[in-house]
């Protein structure tokens, strides 16, 4: 059987907001995961439109498209194109699960929820000639799932080809998150068996890993066992975790021993009323500064995530947040405008209050206000969002953030990491166009591995602020 799998690019790909580096980071793990259920003699072409031009002249029997909210219109156009050519077209992913009736107009079959249980069932039905119109995932497990088809991923396109997910979902329930809508009708947090996760890590070449799990630290027992198994593998890695998990005694230390060097932390807001409003209880009454201090002491860099536009926010929120982030020495920050994704509690609440002003899914990209904020205008919210990026990444802020650190080596790492991420974008773009983005990976590994004197460097070679490997790469 001839199969085409597509991760469509978001409509933004044609707009001035397009940042090539952001879309050359991670390969399409979702499609490569369900591809593991195909037969060895199926002829599969997996294309990621963020990084390559699609070949639309082919004649596949089956077309599989993953739909995110911001790529929904492009996904539908591609689906319509292949249906006109007579292919059997299926759609799945987050947006299909949120709005199945909308997606069904463009597909022969649709899939709701994760694909590990429904996809093998569909393949059997399809081969037998009686596929259903709709498949709803109910059995939630990663036990016995075959290894992800990494052979279908064109590694050279990505800065982080070693992206990996070893769990699905998250134990928490924040109102604005996609999670509860996507995992409804079954378990919403479950893990791969640790042995299989370790085997997958072992199969990945090189040193660097990026865990894309929503909350790698969400199950202490699983995380501790995983980190224990990774000890001595010589990996350096990045992941996402909550403030609460950083403060939990013992777990962070295990992660650091296993190679954790940078963590994406969802601070979201500095206002406890907003945390309550969004049911983000796991952040309530947690000492954010202490969490950052703990990460710093262990040599882990912080990517702080912040959301603007909650009902308690007014026009002072931007300056306060940026000032706090800079003064804490956070290395990188990601700002978002609150976005009511269909299917979430946040969406239902805002729809009930008649506050949603825009149903153009292209705008649901966390850069636009698609609703009426409570305590400021849309213009103030959007301007404040953009100003936050400018303020956080101006050189004076980068230096101020770096100088919150005691050791010269830590300051250097801050300057190098933050500066090269935001200030060297033309260089990244050039390397992407030259198909050389992979060449940046050793530099990233070096920055994550080197600099400073930290508990995790005990016993490793040390020769002053810059280790020899970094000098080589410079
Ligand atoms: C990596 C990532 C990115 C990467 C690349 C995405 C990629 N290559 O897949 C980049 C940086 C480009 C990115 C960008 C954005 N992202 Co993003 N991203 C993620 C992240 C962290 C991991 C994705 C992943 O690999 N998951 C692991 C795999 C295994 O899961 P999966 O892809 O969902 O696939 C499973 C199922 O969905 C299902 N499935 C999927 N497709 C199909 C098809 C069929 C037929 C079947 C049967 C099953 C099926 O089966 C798979 C196996 O279970 C997710 C969070 C998350 N946990 O998913 C956010 C997430 C997907 N991103 C999100 C957002 C909002 C964005 C941006 C708009 C952010 C922005 N401000 O720019 C952009 C736009 C992206 C776009 N193209 O439209 C939201 C999506 C919200 C929504 N309702 O669509 C998420 C959920 C984050 C969040 N918590 O809000 N993102
Ligand atoms: S902690 Fe993060 S992943 Fe979990 S529900 Fe909240 S926003 Fe979603």
172 ligand 2 Cβ < 6 A: yes
* 49 touches 6 (CB < 8 A): yes
Sign of CA dihedral 208, 213, 214, 220: negative
Tokens of 452: 């400073």
Q: What is the CATH architecture of 2-136?
A: 3-Layer(aba) Sandwich (3.40)
d(CA 460, CA 394) in angstroms, rounded, equals: 34
Please state which CATH class domain 159-415 belongs to: alpha beta
- Helix 378-392 vs helix 317-327: crossing angle, to nearest 10: 20
In this structure, what DSSP letter does residue 13 have? G
* 32 touches 148 (CB < 8 A): yes
Ligand nearest to the backbone CA of 135: 1
Residue whose CA is at the smallest distance from ligand 2 atom 6: 174
Task: List the beta strands (DSSP E) in 115-162.
Answer: 134-136
* 276 touches 312 (CB < 8 A): no
Tell me what pLDDT residue 288 has: 94
Alpha helices in 188-237 (DSSP H): 194-203, 220-230
For residue 169, the ligand 2 atom closest to its alpha carbon is 3
Residue whose CA is at the smallest distance from ligand 2 atom 7: 177
DSSP string over 375-402:
SS-HHHHHHHHHHHHHHHTSHHHHHHHH
* 116 touches 148 (CB < 8 A): no
- 88 to 42, 108, 136, 254: CA distances (angstroms): 15, 6, 19, 48
Tokens of 102: 């909308």
d(CA 447, CA 424) in angstroms, rounded, equals: 15
Q: Where are the domains of the chain?
A: 2-136, 159-415
Give this prediction's pTM. Answer: 0.93
Measured in angstroms, how far is the CA atom of residue 290 from the centroid of ligand 1? Answer: 31
Rg value, the chain, Cα = 22
Measured in angstroms, how far is the CA atom of residue 416 from the centroid of ligand 1? Answer: 29
* 185 touches 138 (CB < 8 A): yes
Q: For residue 53, give every residue at least 6 positions away whose Cβ sits within 8 Å of its Cβ, in sequence order, or none.
A: none
Mutate to test the pocket of ligand 2, among 170, 171, 310 (most ligand atoms within 8 A of CB): 170
d(CA 47, CA 288) in angstroms, rounded, equals: 41
User: Can you state the percent helix, strand and coil of the chain, rounding each to 5?
Assistant: 45, 15, 40
Measured in angstroms, how far is the CA atom of residue 92 from the centroid of ligand 1? Answer: 11
Please, what's the largest Cα pairwise distance for the chain? 67
For residue 180, the ligand 2 atom closest to its alpha carbon is 5
Measured in angstroms, how far is the CA atom of residue 76 from the centroid of ligand 2? Answer: 28
Residue whose CA is at the smallest distance from ligand 1 atom 58: 214
Say how many C-beta atoms besides its own lie within 10 A of residue 231's C-beta.
Answer: 12
Per the DSSP assignment, residues forming a β-bridge with 157 are none
Q: What is the pLDDT along the chain (474 residues), one digit of tens a residue?
A: 999 999 999 766 666 666 777 788 899 999 999 999 999 999 999 999 998 989 999 999 999 999 999 999 999 999 999 999 999 999 999 999 999 999 999 999 999 999 999 999 999 999 999 999 999 999 999 999 999 999 999 998 998 999 999 999 999 999 999 999 999 989 999 999 999 999 999 999 999 999 999 999 999 999 999 999 999 999 999 999 999 999 999 999 999 999 999 999 999 999 988 888 898 888 888 899 999 999 999 999 999 999 999 999 999 999 999 999 999 999 999 999 999 999 999 999 999 999 999 999 999 999 999 999 999 999 999 999 999 999 999 999 999 999 999 989 889 989 988 887 777 777 777 777 777 777 777 777 877 776 544 554 544 433 332 232 222 222
d(CA 76, CA 105) in angstroms, rounded, equals: 9
177 ligand 2 Cβ < 6 A: yes
* 242 touches 275 (CB < 8 A): no
């Amino acid at each position: 059987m001839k199969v085409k799998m597509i991760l469509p690019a978001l409509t933004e790909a044609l707009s001035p907001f397009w940042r090539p580096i952001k879309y050359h980071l991670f390969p399409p793990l979702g499609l490569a995961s369900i591809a593991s259920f195909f037969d060895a003699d199926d002829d599969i072409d997996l294309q990621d439109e963020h990084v390559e031009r699609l070949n639309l002249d082919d004649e596949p029997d089956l077309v599989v498209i993953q739909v995110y909210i911001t790529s929904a219109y492009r996904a539908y156009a591609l689906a319509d194109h292949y249906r006109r050519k007579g292919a059997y077209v299926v759609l799945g992913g987050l947006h299909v699960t949120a709005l199945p009736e909308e997606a069904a107009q463009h597909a022969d079959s649709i899939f709701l929820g994760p694909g590990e249980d429904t996809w093998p069932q569909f393949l059997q039905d399809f081969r037998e000639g009686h596929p259903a119109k709709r498949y709803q995932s109910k059995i939630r497990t990663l036990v016995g799932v075959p290894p992800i088809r990494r052979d279908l991923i064109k590694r050279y396109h990505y800065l982080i080809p070693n992206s990996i997910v070893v769990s699905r979902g998250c134990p928490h329930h924040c109102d604005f998150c996609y999670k509860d809508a996507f995992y409804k009708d079954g378990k919403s947090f479950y893990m791969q068996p640790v042995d299989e996760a370790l085997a997958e890590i072992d199969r990945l070449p090189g040193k660097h890993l990026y865990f894309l799990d929503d909350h790698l630290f969400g199950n202490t027992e699983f995380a501790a066992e995983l980190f224990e198994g990774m000890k001595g593998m010589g990996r350096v890695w990045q992941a996402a975790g909550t403030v609460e998990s950083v403060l939990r005694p013992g777990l962070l230390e295990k992660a650091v021993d296993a190679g954790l060097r940078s963590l994406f932390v969802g601070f979201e807001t500095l206002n406890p009323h907003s945390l309550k409003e969004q049911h983000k209880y796991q952040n309530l009454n947690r000492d954010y500064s202490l969490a950052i201090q703990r990460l710093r002491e262990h040599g882990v860099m912080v990517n702080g995530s912040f959301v603007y536009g909650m009902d308690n926010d007014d026009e002072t929120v931007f300056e306060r947040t940026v000032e706090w982030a800079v003064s804490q020495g956070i290395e990188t920050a990601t700002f978002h405008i609150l976005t009511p994704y269909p299917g979430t509690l946040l969406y239902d609440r805002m729809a009930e209050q008649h506050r949603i002003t825009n149903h153009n899914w292209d705008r649901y990209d966390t850069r636009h206000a698609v609703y009426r904020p409570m305590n400021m205008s849309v213009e103030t919210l959007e301007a404040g969002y953009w100003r936050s990026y400018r303020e956080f990444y101006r050189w004076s802020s980068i230096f101020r953030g770096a100088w919150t650190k005691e050791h010269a080596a830590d300051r250097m790492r801050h300057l190098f990491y933050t500066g090269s991420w935001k200030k060297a974008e033309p260089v990244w773009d050039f390397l992407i166009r030259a198909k050389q983005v992979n060449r940046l990976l050793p530099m990233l590994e070096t920055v994550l591995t080197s600099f400073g004197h930290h508990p995790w460097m005990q016993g490793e070679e040390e020769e002053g602020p810059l280790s020899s490997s970094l000098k080589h790469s410079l």
